[in-house]
Structures are given as C-alpha cells and as structure tokens.
Structure 1
C-alpha cells in the first residue's frame, strides 16, 4: 500500500506531474476555477490541493503557505508522490523603479535571503529556475501581449523587516522583486532533479514617489494575479506539448 504523505495527505497517483504552487489558499481556488473537471483532493493545515485539466493536460494546484519552511514540506512531499514540474504563482514587491504595481515578473533566479534552503545546501549553491519552464512562461507572457519583466527575485523570511541599505543594493544589482518562496522552490527542485519556475504579480513598490492606498494596490494586483494564473496555465500546456515530443 502506498504511503500517504504526512502533511499534504496524498499518495502516488493522487496528483498530476504538473503542479502550480501559490502560497495562498485563496489563489488555489482562483486557479482551480480555470480547470475542467475540478476535483478537491485534500485540505490539511495550509495545504489545499485540487486536480483538474487545462486544455486536456492533467494539472494540480497546491498551496504552500507563506515562506520557506511550509514550502519545503509541500515540495518534498509532492516530489515523493510523483510531481516533477512546479510553477510558483505568487505576489511580490517590486525593487526597480520601472516596474509598476500590477505588472507581472518571470522569476528566472533567486537571491537566497531565506534560511530554509540553507538547511539543505551551502548558500553558494544557486537558486535557478529550469530553462524550459522559464522559456514557456516567457512565451506565454508574450502571447498575452504583456510587458515582460524577467530576472532575479530576493527571497526573504521577515516580511516586515526593512533594511534600507540592502534595498538600495537590490535596486543597484537589478534585482526585480522580493517575495518569500522562489529560492526555496528553485533550490529544492535542483537538488531533486525536477523542474521549477515562477511568475509573480507585483502588489507594491517601495520605490514609487507616491504610494497608492491599500485599496488601490489591491485593485491593481487583482489584474496581475489573474494574468499570472492564465500565464502559468498556458506555460503548463506548452510544456506538456513539448514533453510529448
């Protein structure tokens, strides 16, 4: 009998090989609404999982919670039950003045500012997305006619801790954004020999001279969130078509 994983409560055959990994359980519901034959698989702790199909491709969505620890648990357990392609669909704060709130960013690499991935491997090990996943995301962004931002994210642990000197360096070194999961996903995927990538919608930018209200930010982000979901699903479809060849 196949072993059921402790946290995601799944065993081999319960989920697809292609998985979207938002942090938010609310975003899981929004993603699953795009599926054909949406089916609830499990709901346990911060992990909400649905299966379905998108353009005939079997796909799963699983929330990871906020930050590295819960994300690493989700990745480890999903890999054990057969998932091999992960796309993070998340939110971020922009770290470049030309990135507007509501823009989307394809994250091809991550500055490992969080602690979880360092429990696995030395900090010199790179957190890099899979080339083919990134290429599929870029193509999907272009298909939608959206402005393409692509580059490195700063993945951190302490959401409310601001470091002005570090923020200046992130902007100087052309880091596109900051968020809390990419480097954990990319590092673990590399270690385990599976594919990963990420697209994030911008919900803030500390470099803007005039800051919108929270309500204005949420309205701008809602469009980016929806587009990120659509782009990620199209990227899954493109990868599945490539994988057939």
Structure 2
C-alpha cells in the first residue's frame, strides 16, 4: 500500500482515513460514481476529481467504509484505475455499469450479473494470456444474486462479452463506420448461440486483473439496449436500469459477512 497520492486516481492511502475502505464500487461514468456516493453514503467525502476520475469515500448505514470510484470508459482506463486502487488497499471491486442485451429474453431495464466474461480485450492481454480465465469471484457474485432476489429486481446471471469498442466491436454498423470487418459480421448471432447474455466493455479485464492481482471482483450492469432488434440505447429506461444495478450492489455489500 502507498501513502503518496497516485498519479491517475489523485489520492493515496493517507487520504482514506483511519478506517480505510477495502471495497470499491467502480463506475465508468463519473456522474454515476457521484450519484452512488451522494445517494447511499453517509459522511461522504470527495477524494479527487483528477482527470475526471472522480472518487468518493463514505460509510454505508451499517458503518461499513466504502469507496465509489470512476474507471473511465473501456478496459485500458479501467486497468490503470484498478491497479492504483489495489495499491491503496482495495481488496474487493464491484463494477456497476451498463450493457446491451443480445438475448431476446434479457429485457431493457433489467440487470445482468456476470459470472464470467468472453474477453476480447487488448488491455487484458497485457495482464494475462488470452487463455487465462476471466471469471467473477463466486462469493461476491452470489451476494449480488441474493440482493437482486431480495429486492425483486429482474436479473440474469451468465456470461458477458467484453469487447474494446462500442460500435465496431459490438457489430454496430449504424455509425460513422458502416463498413465492418468481415470477422465482425454475424458475431452477435454467434455469441447469442453461445448463450452469451450481453455486451459491455470492462469486466473481462477486471476479472483477469482480479485473478492475477489476487483481489475479489464482480460485475452488475443495467441493460440499456436490446440488440436483438436495434442498435440504439433506450434512453427512457436507462435510469431504471442503472438504479437497479446500483441498488443491487449496495444491498449486496451491506449484507456481506
């Protein structure tokens, strides 16, 4: 652990206080990191806004110390933040994100709890070989499942496809680049047949880092797009999906032994 302020996250061990948190909620969006802290934390304190990687520390209602941090978009940014969070003593990380469903039964507004990831990410290859498993920590994952059941939130558990790009990598052609490489044509249907539930851009690298760095990681994502019939994000249901994911993570942490 380090007491000095780390270059990217902008804080060090000393900034976390006497009862430093061991668990972090990690969001790609700095506004989501703020929302989590302001809604669910007591005695909340801003640690840093360095590089837009906003971080907050506080306590849950049961007194558990907790961190809400920003990973930025995509695996390269996440890999930097996670490395530095581990350096300041974080030992459990739950990613709270958004995703696109690729199964017809996984509905917009629900959540996906990732048991493992099909990891198609360059950053992860710098952490461990392609063959290295990208698996969530089972006890944190079960805690998320239990929380979703108790809160009666529609949820699905299974394999997530983690890719590096939002458009090409997720077979979106309605963008500035309609000419996808041949290797990407039909990949969504291929993943659908492999029982992959959703697309997102971070948890595969997070899970590989957890295995190599020896910390516990899990992921819960709100479903904001249904890729069975369209490429667009359903903005009218985004808040519902995100709030469901946040509530699930908070309830899970509050009830951890």
Does TM, normalized by the shorter one, top 0.5? Answer: yes
**What is the CA distance between 1:13 and its match in structure 2?**
4.2
Matched, 1:53 2:59: yes
Structure 1 unmatched runs, 5+: none
Classify the secondary structure of the residue corresponding to 1:77.
Answer: helix
Q: For 2:208 and 2:148, how far apart are their aligned partners in 1? A: 24
Matched, 1:38 2:44: yes
Q: For 1:14 and 1:195, how far apart are their aligned partners in 2? A: 23
Q: Is the 8 A contact 1:64 1:71 kept in 2?
A: yes
> Alpha carbon RMSD of aligned pairs, Å?
1.5
2:222 counterpart residue number:
201
Could you tell which deviates more after superposition, 134-143 or 228-237? 228-237
**What is the CA distance between 1:148 and its match in structure 2?**
2.6
Aligned residue-pair number: 236
Q: For 2:153 and 2:213, how far apart are their aligned partners in 1? A: 33
Could you tell which deviates more after superposition, 1-10 or 185-194? 1-10
Q: How does 1:70-109 map to 2 (within 5 A)?
A: 70-109=77-116
Q: For 1:148 and 1:92, how far apart are their aligned partners in 2? A: 13
Match of 2:188 among 162, 167, 173: 167
Deviation digits for residues 153-201 of structure 1, max 9, x if unmatched?
1111121101332111110011010100001111101111100001000
Match of 1:157 among 164, 173, 188: 164
Q: Is the 8 A contact 2:224 2:235 kept in 1?
A: yes
Classify the secondary structure of the residue corresponding to 1:14.
Answer: helix
**What is the CA distance between 1:213 and its match in structure 2?**
7.4
Classify the secondary structure of the residue corresponding to 2:45.
Answer: strand
1:142 counterpart residue number:
149
2:178 counterpart residue number:
none
Q: Is the 8 A contact 1:46 1:64 kept in 2?
A: no
Q: How does 1:6-25 map to 2 (within 5 A)?
A: 6-15=7-16, 16-25=21-30
Q: Is the 8 A contact 2:115 2:159 kept in 1?
A: yes
Could you tell which deviates more after superposition, 171-180 or 220-229? 220-229
Q: For 1:194 and 1:153, how far apart are their aligned partners in 2? A: 20
Runs of 4+ in 1 over 6 A off after TM superposition: none
1:237 counterpart residue number:
254
Matched, 1:27 2:27: no
Q: Structure 1 pair 4/212, CA: closer, same or farther in 2 (3 Å)? A: closer
**What is the CA distance between 1:127 and its match in structure 2?**
0.5
Classify the secondary structure of the residue corresponding to 1:127.
Answer: coil
Classify the secondary structure of the residue corresponding to 1:176.
Answer: strand
**What is the CA distance between 1:141 and its match in structure 2?**
0.3
